[in-house]
Amino acid sequence: MHVFKPRVIQLAVVAAAILMLAGCAEPPAAAGQSQPASEVAVVTLSTSTVELTTELPGRTTDFRHAEIRPQVSGILQQRLFTEGQLVSAGQLLYKIDPASYQAALSSAQAAVNSAEAAQHNARLKAERIKGLLGNNVISQQDADDADAALMQADAAVASAEAALLTAQINLNYTDIKAPIAGQIGRSMVTEGALLTANQAQGLATIRQLDPIYVDLTQSSNELLKLKRQLRADQLAAEVRVELLLDDGSNYDEPGSLQFSEVNVDPGTGMVTLRAVFPNKKGDLLPGMFVRARLHHGSNSQALLVPQKAVSRTPKGDATVMLVNKEQQVELRPVTLGASYGQSWLVTAGLSSGEQVIVAGLQKVRPGATVTVVSATDGE
């Protein structure tokens, strides 16, 4: 039995040491004691007046567009313009060899002269016969034949004059003139080329770029909302449009909305809107990608929420964290409109006077009690 005494003594010493350590440790926190409330920075929402805008993608297109084609056939003699320069309406651009058309005009003029001579003879004959008809010298049939011959002579003169006019028109077409004013592109033909009337290949293209169109695309649903806003604000007469260039800079001239398409693209559900802009400096060229901002009234009861307060769900829905009257965090889904600087316009989900969390979001969860400070002081 004495063999086991050292073992018992050793265990007693260890137990005593454990009790002493337990006695020195701090007492555990009470089971019901709460952690201190997290501090968050908030902004208190209030209404303000903002200008309502809609930003749409678009592409520039020329105001007028004319492809130059010959209306008569022949050999091109001259090109009378400088490529890339501005031309005026009616300016002579090309000249086709007019020799054959001048000859056709002379022939047509001779045919008119011949028809007029025959007409004059038929008229004199008809007048002589009509004078003899009452004396029973000639028959009624002879008088009718003379009248018919005069009518045929009149018709021959009219036909010859029409042929003369056609010959004159064809001769005029040997001078190819600009139908509109604008900037002319490169020439597709050179002197000596054989041109064909109404050929498929154009000779050159003229584009009028001042003013210039911008075609914008918008969903049909958004277009309905825009039209309702215009009717509500009585601004349907004109919508002011600002242009944002592809490099992010603002175009220095404002434009105006002209019209919208009368049909919706069934594949995309989009409608085309057309705006017109002055382009005196020629900075805008056809085919440029731009963005246009449409100004269509104002909202005097707008609520703006800082963009950093907005989060997105996996489905893309916008949400914000706010502090309610019980100083607890609440998750609120919201509907957003356009952006204004560093803020979003809230169209649904929030009201004036509510406190939205802008800093400390990572420390809180819905339902947690928090301490609030003003965002201007807490940041």
Tokens standing for residue 371: 């301490």
Name which residue leads in pLDDT, 32 or 155: 155
Same structural domain for residues 190 and 85? yes
Same structural domain for residues 223 and 275? yes
What contacts 24+ positions apart, CB below 8 Å, involve 122-125? 122/146, 122/149, 122/150, 122/152, 122/153, 123/150, 123/153, 125/149, 125/150
Q: How many domains does the chain have?
A: 4
Whether 24 is in a domain gets the answer no
Residue 377 burial by CB count (10 A; 0-12/13-18/19+): exposed, middle or buried?
A: exposed
pLDDT at residue 138, as a whole number: 81
Q: Is the pTM of this model over 0.75?
A: no
Least confident window among 260-269, 300-309, 325-334 = 260-269
pLDDT at residue 379, as a whole number: 47
pLDDT at residue 10, as a whole number: 55
CATH number for the domain spanning 228: value is 2.40.30.170
pLDDT at residue 29, as a whole number: 44
For residues 70 and 82, give the distance between their C-alpha atoms in angstroms, rounded to a whole number: 19
Q: Is 47 left (phi over 0), alpha (psi -120 to 50) or beta?
A: beta
Whether 4 is in a domain gets the answer no
Residue pair 291/57 in contact (Cβ under 8 Å)? The answer is yes
Same structural domain for residues 222 and 258? yes
Mark which of 126, 154, 173 sits at the end of a domain. 173
Look up the domain containing 217 and give its range: 54-63+210-299
C-alpha dihedral (194, 197, 198, 199), degrees to nearest 10 = -30
Task: Return the ∠ at Cα 50 (arms to 224 and 291), rounded to 5°.
Answer: 60
Query: Does 5 score more than 60 pLDDT?
Result: no
What is the average pLDDT score of the chain?
84
Whether 33 is in a domain gets the answer no
Name which residue leads in pLDDT, 325 or 297: 325
Residue pair 91/177 in contact (Cβ under 8 Å)? The answer is yes
Whether 14 is in a domain gets the answer no
Residue pair 111/105 in contact (Cβ under 8 Å)? The answer is no
Residue 233's nearest CA partner among 52, 48, 49, 50 is 52
Same structural domain for residues 344 and 371? yes
Under the banding of pLDDT at 50, 70 and 90, the label for residue 368 is confident
Query: Does 350 score more than 60 pLDDT?
Result: yes
For residues 372 and 379, give the distance between their C-alpha atoms in angstroms, rounded to a whole number: 12
How would DSSP label each residue in 331-371?
A: EEEEEEEEEETTEEEEEES--TT-EEEEE-GGG--TT-BEE
Most confident of 18-27, 291-300, 348-357: 348-357
Query: Does 229 score more than 90 pLDDT?
Result: no
Most confident of 71-85, 263-277, 343-357: 71-85
CATH number for the domain spanning 320: value is 2.40.420.20
Read off the pLDDT of residues 87-123 as tens digits, 9 standing for 90 and up. Answer: 999 999 999 999 999 999 999 999 999 999 999 999 9
Name which residue leads in pLDDT, 372 or 154: 154
Same structural domain for residues 242 and 307? no
Phi first, then psi: what are they for 62, rounded to 5°? -65, 150
Mark which of 268, 299, 330 sits at the end of a domain. 299
Phi first, then psi: what are they for 193, rounded to 5°? -75, 145
pLDDT at residue 8, as a whole number: 44
CATH number for the domain spanning 180: value is 2.40.50.100
Residue 290's nearest CA partner among 275, 280, 278 is 275
CATH number for the domain spanning 121: value is 1.10.287.470
Same structural domain for residues 195 and 260? no
How would DSSP label each residue in 211-252?
A: EEEEEEEEEHHHHHHHHHHHHHHT-TT--EEEEE-TTSPBPS
Same structural domain for residues 90 and 163? no
Query: Does 52 score more than 90 pLDDT?
Result: no
